[in-house]
Structure 1
Amino acid sequence: MTRTWQIGTVTDAARARIAVARLAAECGVPTVERARLAAALSGRLRQCLTKGGTWVLTLDTSGSAAGEGTLHLALTSSPGAGAADRAPWAVTVPCPEPDPASDGAEPREDPADLSEALLGADEDTAGVLDKLAEQERLVAFHREELHQTNQGVLALHAELDAAGRAQREAFAAERRARNEAEDARRRLTFLADASPVLNASLNHDEIVRRLPELLVPRYARSVDMWLFDDEDDPHRPTPHPAAAPHPAAAVRAARTGRPQYAADHPGGLPGVDDQPPSALAPDRPLLCIPLLTRRAPLGVLTLSPPGERWDPDDAVMLIELTRRAGIAIDNARRFEHNRDIAETLQRALLTDLPAPPGLSLAARYLPATHGLNIGGDWYDAFRQRDGSLITVVGDVTGHGLHAAVMMSQLRTALRAYAVDGGGPGRLLTRLHEFLHHLQPDLYATAVIARFHPDEPTLTWAAAGHPPPVLRLPDGRVRTLDAKPGAMLGIPLKQEIADHTERLEPGSTLALYTDGLVERRARGIDPGIERLAAALGSFGPAELGADLEGSADRILHPLLSDSERDDDVCLLLCHLHG
């Protein structure tokens, strides 16, 4: 169906718009689309009226087999009215009912009809407004929903950011803890490695030399060791005139026994007192740590930092290392003092050998205690009233100063008993009784050989001791293994017998302790055989010409191994022609 309107005035335009609105409503065009169509048509008609002339409005409805159709509206200029510069306008709207029930007659000009048309337009406007309100509510709902979503996203972002910060802080704390643990492990490893170095030597000069090597350049740029001696008392008001100048902080550390830190800024080191910068080194900090012992300070260790200042934990480690160094130096000094005493005692006990006519003597003594040159083995040689020469080699159980003291007592007792005369067996019997009553828990072994002045005869006796070895002038070697007595000091009453051996000029007798021949893995017999072989290896005149050198040549092959753990004593007696 097609309808046409001629439009030349405002009234024509209003009537046409009212008719189009009614037909669109009857064709089932939705309210919003109908309002959009009416508004577009009104605007176009307003433009046409502004241009002037006559216009033709055509409305065409068409349907399809499915019952749906379209409403086509076109506005063109009337023929002969200058259509060349007036472009047509057309619009197509879908409609569910393409065949309206009425014929779409134009509205009359009475007020009632126009009012009805106006109210109908208002109804369409109201419908559009309702749709608009509904859309606004929907937009507001979605806006609120979007706002809530944004708030949730912002909250999630905040939580993620907080979680990220917490994770970063946890990672940073873990790194700090790992670094601190690694630093602590490094310091403990340094202390563990440094302690054996400091205690490896019993020479305090060696310890003083090694300490700077441990600290420079890792923990200190420079190290100064101030050790007190008899003339350098830290409690004096003024230093000794001959002493080198020391920082005031070092003097204070020596007097108070507390570490001191001298610098132009506070050190913040635990357990350390802050002092003004030293006049001797005003441009660098100094850490002065006393070398403390159980008795009194030994000195002061003065350090300068490898950088600007020390880490507090490094300072604690340095104080602990200095404490250990002080103990090591004190132990070394006490050991050196005891060693000097022991060596003096040893020299006093191991007297010079006599030089009787026709007989040469050579002795060697090597203690088992490393560093402390004293032990329980001893040798001695002296004359009796009748001119006989007594030679003895003994071995007190144990090592060190206690064994040496007991050895000295036995040596003194033997000399006292020998004044009254008597053979070697009788002397050993009296020593056995003496030791059993003096020290019931201490034992000893000994061998005594007596050279007669008027005849080439050797009388000897042994008590639990390795047998003497005799080299004959022709180079043959014999072991004097006659039955010996039991060990001296055991709870057993015994009478030790003498044994006699005739000597020829050029003979050599070797008395020794078990430390020369006995080894744990091989026993004592192979060692005696090695001694006999060494003694028999000399030429006919070598022993008589250089008995001292011969003693060294005997010891060298027998002590070349590293298994020796006992004192060694050797006494050679060579009978001249």
Structure 2
Amino acid sequence: MRRTWRIAGVTDAARARIGLARVAAAYGVPPLERIRFGTALSAHLRQCLTKGGTWRLTLTADTSAAALSAEDPATAGLTTDGPASGARCLLEAVVTPSREASAAGEPPWRTALVCPEAGPATEAGVVADDPAALAEALLGADEDTALVLRRLTEQEELVSFHREELQQTNQGVVALHAELDAAGRAQREAFAAERKARTEAERARRRLTFLADASAVLTASLNHHEILRRLPDLLMPVYAGRVEVRWFETEEPGRDAGPRLAAAEAAARTGRPQYAADHPGGLPGVDDQPPSEEDPARPLLCIPLPTRPAPLGVLTMSPPGERWDPDDAVMLVELTRRASIAIDNARRYEHNRDIAETLQRALLTRLPTPPDVELAARYLPATHGLNIGGDWYDAFRQPDGGVIAVVGDVTGHGLHAAVMMSQLRTALRAYAVDGGSPGRLLTRLHDFLHTLQPDLYATAVIARFHPDESTMTWAAAGHPPPVLREPDGRIRVLDDKPGAMLGIPLKQEIADHTVPMPPGSTLALYTDGLVERRARGIDPGIERLAAALGSFNPAELEADLEGAAEGILHPLLSDSERDDDVCLLLCRRREVGAR
């Protein structure tokens, strides 16, 4: 189909415009595309009328596949409402200028439209010249315009709806962002609080660990001078930059402490820690003082060493940095308190040790020197650092010239056992004045202990030597057997039946035993601490004692009995830690007048 309109005025342009609209409608072009197509044409026709002259509008309908496939992409964009796959016709409008316009170089104007239908439209573009037809075409254009306006209204409503929906969405996104930001801030605050709590817990753990370790170090010693020496080494350099201990026992009378120790004097006077600096310390339980005149910029913490009735001294220290953490200061005060307790305990222990050693020296008297018997003794208490226990030895002469040698063991250790041992020792000496054999003496000690101390038990062995006899009489009550070395080096363990322990609720008569003991013989009396071990019992220890006594030659025993006692103790006590008192008494028989 091909149709041509000659346009020389407004009426011709309107008639061509109406005809083109009818053709597009006949070919099934949607209203919006039809209006867009006609509007573009009207705009160009308006320009043509402005320029003047005669113009020609040619409308061609081409249904060939080549025309459809060769459609220009710019013209293809005009089809928006119909699918391209259903198009069977291409409407092409060409406006060509008159000869005058063409001579002036005016190019032709061309536009195209793809139609969904290809029905015949031979009379569709014919427009009558009467006004009624033009009016009808004008009213039809108004209907198309109304349709466009309705579509525009729908689009505006849709845009408004989407705008409102988008605004609500934006508000929701903003609110969500605010919630996420608040949640993130709360999470960051929670993480920060957790890190802070974890850091504080780790610091507290380190303080408690240090306090426990330092307390163990301070209480490990029973020498108060050693504790004072260890205290600065424990504090520097982690908790203090410099440490001084002012010990009141070493202060010179009337000595002026000077301004630097004013806080220390206040601490000693009030018994409260003092903080001397040019700024408040803010330390719990610590009083603030003016800075020291010697070094005003350096803070000082003075903590008394509290004991009853008055402090023993003052610990003065400077911080490792600018100042102390309050929790560190609390820990330092607690450590100082524990140090003062350890020092006070060490001082009390040293005092008790001095008393015990004095008592021990009074109880373990010097051995006698009879002409026919040589004696050597060794005593080692079980209590560490306290030289006193329940084991004891003694030797003395009887009125008839005989010599009594005794080794005993009172149950328990320490001062109580030593006091009871002294009572037995005194009772034995009193009974021996009246004479009597070893068995008789032990029987009387048993009655004495059972009557006066029913809850106390003891063991003992007594040997009696007489210068007119070449024998030795002995008796034992629950005690390890004596070991006898004969002059030829042979060893005898005197394990004849002994009596029961002294003090048990049982009536007993302890028997005497007599063995030959010529000059050159050596008798070993001892307590179970020398030979008994928990893992092996007592018999292997007695065998080792016998072997040690038999290892000496007669000349060594005759020349140095004291050295022989040391030589016996060393191999027997070097294999394990001693947990009981040890007592050893060597008695060597010699010729009368040999020394």
Corresponding position of 1:57? 57
Question: For 1:91-170, what aligned pairs fall within 5 Å after superposition?
Answer: 91-95=111-115, 96=117, 99=121, 104-108=126-130, 115-170=135-190
1:37 aligns with 2:37: yes
Equivalent position amino acid for 2:493 in 1: T
In the alignment, does 2:501 pair up with 1:487? yes
Corresponding residue to 2:440 among 426, 429, 432:
426
Distance in 1 (CA, whole Å) between partners of 2:378 and 2:101 is 154
Q: Are the counterparts in 2 of residues 27 and 100 from structure 1 also a CA contact under 8 Å? A: no
What's 2:419 paired with? 405
The alpha-carbon deviation at position 563 of structure 1 amounts to: 4.9
Q: Could you tell me how far apart the structure 1 residues matched to 2:101 and 2:409 are?
A: 155
Give the aligned length: 568
Residue 347 of structure 1: aligned partner: 361
Q: Identity rate of aligned residues, in percent?
A: 76
Per the alignment, residue 235 of structure 1 pairs with none
CA distance in 1, matches of 2:62, 2:270: 119
- Tell me, yes or no, if the aligned pair for 1:263 and 1:286 is still in contact at 8 Å: yes
Task: State how far apart, in whole Å, the 1-side matches of 2:487 and 2:311 are.
Answer: 64
Quote the Cα distance in structure 1 between the aligned partners of 2:30 and 2:275.
96
Specify the code of the residue in structure 2 equivalent to 1:524.
I
> Quick one: which of 250, 254, 259 aligns to 1:241?
254
Q: Distance in 1 between matches of 2:434 and 2:29?
A: 158
Residue 356 (1) aligns with residue 370 (2): yes
Q: 1:242 to 1:476 in 2, by over 3 A?
A: farther
The SS at the match of 1:184 is helix
Structure 2 unaligned spans of 5+: 66-85
SS of the residue 1:104 aligns to: coil
Q: 1:21 to 1:514 in 2, by over 3 A?
A: closer
Residues 341 and 106 of structure 1, relative CA distance in 2, 3 Å threshold: same
The Cα offsets for residues 215-252 of structure 1, whole Å up to 9 and x where unpaired, read as: 222222222223343x76xxxxxx94348666333333
Check the 8 A contact 2:443/2:508 in 1, yes or no: yes
Q: Distance in 2 between matches of 1:548 and 1:402?
A: 30
Question: Mean Cα displacement is larger for which, 488-497 or 337-346?
Answer: 488-497
Q: Does structure 1 residue 458 correspond to structure 2 residue 472?
A: yes
Residue of 220, 229, 250 corresponding to 2:240: 220
Per-residue deviation, residues 460-515 of structure 1 (Å, max 9, x unmatched): 33222223333222222333334333322222233333344443222222222222
Stretches of structure 1 that go unaligned for 5 or more consecutive residues are: 233-238
Offset from partner CA, 1:278-331 (integer Å, 9 cap, x none): 334422222333333466533332332222222333333333322322222222
Alignment of 1:11-410 (within 5 A): 11-25=11-25, 28-61=28-61, 69-79=89-99, 82-83=102-103, 85-95=105-115, 96=117, 99=121, 104-108=126-130, 115-229=135-249, 240-242=253-255, 247-293=261-307, 296-410=310-424
Residue 90 and residue 396 in structure 1: after superposition, are their counterparts in 2 closer, same or farther (change >3 A)? same
**In structure 2, what is the equivalent of residue 236 of structure 1?**
none
SS in 2 for 1:535: helix
1:42 Cα deviation after fit: 2.8
Aligned counterparts of 2:560 and 2:127: Cα–Cα separation in 1:
164
Cα drift, residue 554 of structure 1: 1.6
* 8 A Cα contact 1:428 1:496, kept in partner: yes
Q: 1:362 and 1:428 mapped to 2: Cα distance?
A: 23
User: Is 1:560 matched up with 2:560?
Assistant: no
The answer to whether the 8 Å contact 2:303/2:314 transfers is: yes
Q: C-alpha displacement at 1:68, in angstroms?
A: 5.4
Q: For the residues of structure 2 that align with 1:562 and 1:124, how far apart are their CA atoms?
A: 121
Tell which deviates more after alignment, 95-104 or 370-379.
Answer: 95-104
1:461 aligns to what SS in structure 2?
strand
Query: What is the distance in 1 between the residues matched to 2:423 and 2:14?
Result: 153
Match of 2:458 among 433, 438, 444: 444
Greater shift, 557-566 or 359-368, is seen at: 557-566
Distance 1:371 1:243 in 2: 38
**Post-superposition offset of 1:104:** 1.8
CA 1:107–1:187: 2 relative to 1, 3 Å: farther
Question: 1-side partners of 2:141 and 2:509: how far apart?
Answer: 156
Matched, 1:529 2:543: yes
CA distance in 2, matches of 1:321, 1:67: 100
SS at match of 1:361: strand
| Matched-pair contact (CA < 8 Å) for 2:53–2:100 | no
CA–CA distance in 1 between the matches of 2:18 and 2:5? 12
CA 1:555–1:24: 2 relative to 1, 3 Å? closer
Q: Provide the rounded CA distance (Å) in 2 between the counterparts of 1:107 and 1:297.
A: 132
Secondary structure of the residue that 1:331 maps to in structure 2?
helix
